[in-house]
Amino acid sequence: MKRLGWKANPAKIIDHSSVMLVLLIMAWLLFFSKMIFNQPDPEAAFHSENGFIQLAGDVRVPGVYPLKGSSSIKSILSNEAWSTLCDDLPQDISPDSIRTGKKVMILRNGENWYFRQEEISAFYKVTLGLPILINQESEEGLTAIPGVGPQLAKAIAQERDKRGGFHDLKELLSIKGIGPGLIKKIGKYVVF
């Protein structure tokens, strides 16, 4: 008996489960490509406008805190979750007197408060995207710069002392072990 009607070509039949599988794989690839390619660029975050200060000493929770345009140490410490130093903290500390990249030691002796500013460690600076002062940083601090190990840090410090400080990154080329590629990498993390 002869069949009438449409004769299906097996090569042209599309299985719905195969289509769903292809669509699922495409969605998965799209999702993960966005995750991979939309990652924040750590170099772009470097030298950001937001600042950071490190609080240490007689504070309940010492650590590194963001210091934005209108922030002050008093506003950071006023939050009960962060410190017990709220009501009697002197008003003489303001954003004008504290710059980003500073470590502020806050010490209390009876009724008197004492404050001392230092530089945040180079390791915090690199992590937070703050520049390292190459002419002032210790040998140990220089090792925080990606690509600079202890021996290279020692050589940089010796050359810096011999020259009386660096004025340009190209001066580092005279140090054995530093080439143009490393200069380019180091340049993202240091200032003079």
Per residue in 15-41, pLDDT (tens digit) is 667 777 888 888 777 766 655 554 444
Q: Of 70 and 146, which is predicted with more confidence?
A: 146
Q: What is the pLDDT of residues 60-114, one digit of tens each?
A: 778 888 776 555 666 666 554 444 554 455 555 554 566 778 888 888 788 777 7
Mean pLDDT of 174-183: 92
pLDDT at residue 74, rounded to an integer = 61
Distance CA 183, CA 189 (A): 10
pLDDT at residue 189, rounded to an integer = 92
Q: Beta strand pairing status for 132-133 and 190-191? A: parallel
